[in-house]
Structure 1
Amino acid sequence: MTALDLTPPATAPRATRRDWAGLAVLMLPVLLVSIDTTVLNFALPQIAQALSPTAAQQLWLIDAYPLVLATLLVTMGTVGDRIGRRRVLLVGATGFAAVSVLAAFAPTAELLLLARVGLGVFGATLMPATLSLLRTMFLDRSQRRLAIAIWATGFSVGAALGPVVGGVLLAHFHWGSVFLVAVPVLVPLLVLGPFLIRESRDPAPGRIDLVGIALSMAALGGLAWSLKHVAVEGLDAVSVAALVAALAAGTAFVRRMRRSVNPMLDVRLFAVPAFSGALAVNLLSIVALTGFLFFVTQHLQLVEGMPPLEASLVLVPGVLAMIAAGLLVVRVVRHVRPAVAVVGGLTFSFVAYALLSLGGTATTIPQIAISFALLGMGIGAAETISNDQILTAVPPAKAGAASAVSETAYEFGAVLGTTVLGGLLTAVYRSSLHIPAGTDEASAAAARETLGGAAAAAERTGDPALLEAARAAFDAGVGVTSTAGAVLVAVAALVGWVTLRHAER
């Protein structure tokens, strides 16, 4: 089985103006859900001062949303295949807007964390529906590739725009504004969606497999939670037990899907190199992107002392580069194989991390802007190609499940970006931090938790030496984390070359 076995014929009907207008409407939840993955990066310093979360809570505030998304995406994709993708999309949009309002006015870190979980639940209904609807709206291969390029670019750009949107809003409004932006974005979808987007579903869906759904949630949720626990608490019996339970649930899920006549997920697709390789490229690319944003946004605000709006403007060239690369690669793959395009793009991302790694503790603002632009070029190209390869490998009836797998890789990448790279940064920061003599114990404890805690303690006590020590320790962590990011990008390029080198143009 190759990536081209199930591609619609060249005579497939072309999309109409209504379909292209529907694509524009579908981009609204795509941008919103991906923006919500990273928008807290810039709001985190203000939230830390307003709600006083611990270091563990701070990481969970970022990761709870993509973790819940990753756990539920396959389930929601399957539900959409059966009861209607447009219906699931509109229900999810309504719930997402309502919970966003609750998050904006959360009075404690615990309630904000609970709201982030709710956003993850409803966000999981949005993403599989958008990509699977594209698969049925655009049957012509060239039109579908362009539509997927727009979708993938919007998804990646949304993640990159998160800090920019956060910076603009925080310059004028309370931190809760980063959640309230969901309401005006989703209203056009709820109004225009029923008219512009045609309903689609699996014509022979079979019954909903409740046991399979439970096993998939246990496997994905347990895996994500165990990785998160290791990053926060270290390797212990709890994390090992959670990992073993997740692997057992995953094994049972695979066996059940292989025996099923009409499985919710055809696990045989993972034997197709283009499908599994594209998923790996997708995941590793997003790890590199979200990990970069996690430490760069803090560096700009807490080390360089830039206000949110000014700091967000440093990332604008990278956002533009990501948009350009995601769209231009559609033309490139007409002349070169997908593997060449993926490796070529990720080479720019490797150079981006290498620049920060070589800079050490002397990282400059222009260096960050250039690095993010290079990173954006690579991620934009890789995401477009990988999502196209994933959808090409499946028939239209199973588009929801395949889309869910693609987005599960994306959200796991978002979790791993802050869990692995963020956890590594935190570990180096704590080991490198030298508390100045005379610092009171409460301020020292706050500084050991996070850089934001050190900044708040220094402001409260008027001790600049504590903040300088924390800044130096943080930038030491950035150097080590950037080296790890360069290795991840190199692995993604290698996987792309090995698995996609036989894929057709």
Structure 2
Amino acid sequence: MTTHDRASLEAAHPRAGFREWAALVVLMLPVLLVSVDNTVLNFALPAISEALRPSGVQLLWTIDVYPLVLAGLLVPMGSLGDRYGRRRLLLIGAVGFAIVSAVAAFAPSAELLIAARAALGVFGAMLMPSTLSLLRSIFVDREQRRLAIAVWASGFAGGSALGPLVGGALLEHFWWGSVFLLAVPVLIPLVVLLPLLVPESRDPQPGRIDPVSIVLSLTTTLPIVYAIKSIASHGFAVDTATGIIVGVASGVAFVRRQRRSVNPMLDMALFERGAFSGAVGVNLLSVTAYVGGLLFVSQHLQLVLGMSPLESGLVLVPGLLVMIGAGLVIVPIAKRVKPSIVIPAGLSISATAYAVVAISGGRLSALELALIFVGLGLGIGAAETVSNELIIATAPAEKAGAASAVSETAYELGAVLGTTILGTILTASYRGNVVVPDSLSEAQRAAAGETLGGAVSVAGQLPNEVAAALLDSARLAFDSGVGTAAGIGTALIVGAMVVARLALRNAR
């Protein structure tokens, strides 16, 4: 390349300076917050179970309703950002998220907590597509953009693992609602600095705001997740079949509506790009496995091994650090090694770690679980960086908002499916295997028979001998489902490896 050619290339793709990298730091605040919010509640479940006495299904809804609503609204919110301004939507989402977080912290019942979490999903959907699409407009140079997206992906993945640590530290000293108040001090600097450092960005030809498509996107995900949860509650029934039928029909209708529209809310042509759809598939499968594993590990550390929330969070710190490091180290490697090779290679480490849990049936020490999470973080952290960069790089610049929304939808839907599928397995196994002493009252029997957290809470009210018998049975019942759940997690990661190998073979 001649000096003139290099100068022309640099003029066409100017490199980012201090202001742009400072903007990245600001944009990381909502990324960390939303990803922490995905998992921070896992470690607060025992305290919530004791304070609000939710049923097993309510407990799963408390976790899932936030990423579920968020996933259903990401594409519409991405379209809104493309039309009205991505920075503007990010500011609105930040203010709303902070206010609703304060409301959730003082929810007096499980029903109101679930409602507050749903509202958080609405405002969270305004935050995430905007951050990734703004990176596309800020970092024009692809090498710098690859590094910026690596930082973004590491922040998202690291935030998911940081949630238990932050939650553990807060729950060690405060009540369960303190995990929600974390949003307020994080979002204040975002609201102040965003207008100063981040330029506004729009799509000159945005997709139209289509209320019918928004409804269809929600009626695709909500009924299917409801059906899966209903199976855990009372097995396959009419409402379960109805949920699946409605969800599938809505999904088909959504896709057909987008294809027929001249200016669709979501351009389905993006999925015709092999690298784009393959990278989305890798995100979905690997995040499903990761978040599902975090669900049962966080409960095992506290409720089976008897560790405090802070101690349990510290067990996961090595995996958190390795995940962040892997996302950054993979950047120079990905410049030289094809995605169809580097992603399966990284995920093979995660699959091996998950398989160890499946073989052991979940009966692992804290040190063994820490090493397992290092393996999970190493592979998934590297894979997510490469797949996210592919999603943004293969989409046209003017469709950055839509592409970012699809990427985020894969993340959040993966979080929903992780807690729904693996959580359902754990709940069903627990209910089917726990033995509740006959001497308990009807209310105590109901609480102890629903969840492991409920059994631990009830055991504190019983004589030592009865309490010990209940806890032994409850812990064995919980671990009976861990082996099956981990086996499914292993299969999900192997599926992501196959998708990467086949769909990304021509990607660079």
TM range, smaller chain: over 0.9
Trace 1:257-272 onto structure 2 (pairs within 5 A). 257-272=258-273
Q: Which moves more between the two structures, 169-178 or 250-259?
A: 250-259
1:32 and 2:36 are equivalent in the alignment: no
1:480 and 2:481 are equivalent in the alignment: no
The residue number in structure 2 matching 1:373 is 374
Q: Aligned partners of 1:361, 1:491: CA distance in 2, in Å?
A: 22
Shift of 1:232: 3.9
Q: Which moves more between the two structures, 65-74 or 227-236?
A: 227-236
Q: Which amino acid aligns with 1:97?
A: A
Q: Aligned partners of 2:362, 2:153: CA distance in 1, in Å?
A: 34
Q: Aligned partners of 2:130, 2:64: CA distance in 1, in Å?
A: 22
Q: Aligned partners of 2:229, 2:335: CA distance in 1, in Å?
A: 41
Q: Which amino acid aligns with 2:417?
A: L
8 Å Cα contact 2:105/2:178 also seen in 1:
yes
Distance 1:158-1:118 versus aligned 2 partners, 3 A rule: same
Q: Aligned partners of 1:356, 1:159: CA distance in 2, in Å?
A: 20
Q: Aligned partners of 1:193, 1:233: CA distance in 2, in Å?
A: 48
Shift of 1:236: 2.2
* TM-score when normalising by structure 2: 0.95
Q: Aligned partners of 1:490, 1:137: CA distance in 2, in Å?
A: 35
8 Å Cα contact 1:150/1:327 also seen in 2:
yes
The residue number in structure 1 matching 2:205 is 204
Post-superposition Cα deviations, 1:455-481, rounded to whole Å, max 9, x if no partner, equal 111111132110111111111221221
Shift of 1:101: 0.3
Q: Aligned partners of 1:57, 1:131: CA distance in 2, in Å?
A: 32
Question: The residue matched to 2:461 in structure 1 has which SS?
Answer: helix
Post-superposition Cα deviations, 1:272-302, rounded to whole Å, max 9, x if no partner, equal 2211111111011111111111111111111
Distance 1:233-1:330 versus aligned 2 partners, 3 A rule: farther
Post-superposition Cα deviations, 1:383-438, rounded to whole Å, max 9, x if no partner, equal 11111111112111111111111111111110111110111111122222233464
8 Å Cα contact 1:390/1:406 also seen in 2:
yes
Question: The residue matched to 1:490 in structure 2 has which SS?
Answer: helix
Q: Aligned partners of 2:499, 2:133: CA distance in 1, in Å?
A: 25
The residue number in structure 2 matching 1:195 is 196
Q: Aligned partners of 2:431, 2:207: CA distance in 1, in Å?
A: 53
Q: Aligned partners of 1:270, 1:207: CA distance in 2, in Å?
A: 19
1:214 and 2:215 are equivalent in the alignment: yes
1:466 and 2:470 are equivalent in the alignment: yes
The residue number in structure 1 matching 2:152 is 151
Distance 1:213-1:467 versus aligned 2 partners, 3 A rule: same
Distance 1:253-1:53 versus aligned 2 partners, 3 A rule: same
Distance 1:206-1:494 versus aligned 2 partners, 3 A rule: closer
Distance 1:206-1:369 versus aligned 2 partners, 3 A rule: closer
Q: Aligned partners of 1:378, 1:457: CA distance in 2, in Å?
A: 39
Q: Aligned partners of 1:448, 1:184: CA distance in 2, in Å?
A: 39
Q: Aligned partners of 1:36, 1:361: CA distance in 2, in Å?
A: 25
Q: Which moves more between the two structures, 207-216 or 378-387?
A: 207-216
Shift of 1:441: 4.3
The residue number in structure 1 matching 2:167 is 166
Question: The residue matched to 2:173 in structure 1 has which SS?
Answer: coil
Trace 1:116-155 onto structure 2 (pairs within 5 A). 116-155=117-156
User: Unpaired runs of 5+ in structure 2?
Assistant: 1-7
The residue number in structure 2 matching 1:4 is none
Trace 1:356-367 onto structure 2 (pairs within 5 A). 356-360=357-361, 362-367=363-368
Distance 1:393-1:223 versus aligned 2 partners, 3 A rule: farther
Trace 1:3-402 onto structure 2 (pairs within 5 A). 11-205=12-206, 207-360=208-361, 362-402=363-403
8 Å Cα contact 1:301/1:308 also seen in 2:
yes
Post-superposition Cα deviations, 1:105-143, rounded to whole Å, max 9, x if no partner, equal 111111111110110010000000000101111111101
Q: Aligned partners of 1:248, 1:211: CA distance in 2, in Å?
A: 14
Q: Which amino acid aligns with 1:474?
A: F
Q: Which amino acid aligns with 2:82?
A: D
8 Å Cα contact 1:443/1:458 also seen in 2:
no
Distance 1:497-1:207 versus aligned 2 partners, 3 A rule: closer
1:412 and 2:413 are equivalent in the alignment: yes
Q: Which amino acid aligns with 2:505?
A: R
Shift of 1:223: 3.7
User: Unpaired runs of 5+ in structure 1?
Assistant: 1-7
Question: The residue matched to 2:14 in structure 1 has which SS?
Answer: coil
Distance 1:502-1:460 versus aligned 2 partners, 3 A rule: same
8 Å Cα contact 2:232/2:427 also seen in 1:
no
The residue number in structure 1 matching 2:3 is none
Shift of 1:262: 2.2
Q: CA RMSD in A?
A: 1.7
The residue number in structure 2 matching 1:421 is 422
8 Å Cα contact 1:231/1:420 also seen in 2:
no
Shift of 1:206: 5.6
Q: Aligned partners of 1:206, 1:366: CA distance in 2, in Å?
A: 50
Q: Which amino acid aligns with 1:174?
A: W
Q: Which amino acid aligns with 2:343?
A: V
Shift of 1:361: 5.2
Shift of 1:66: 0.4
Q: Which amino acid aligns with 2:506?
A: H
Q: Which moves more between the two structures, 387-396 or 183-192?
A: 387-396
8 Å Cα contact 1:361/1:472 also seen in 2:
no
Question: The residue matched to 1:39 in structure 2 has which SS?
Answer: helix
Q: Which moves more between the two structures, 75-84 or 389-398?
A: 389-398
Q: Which moves more between the two structures, 427-436 or 67-76?
A: 427-436
Distance 1:84-1:229 versus aligned 2 partners, 3 A rule: farther
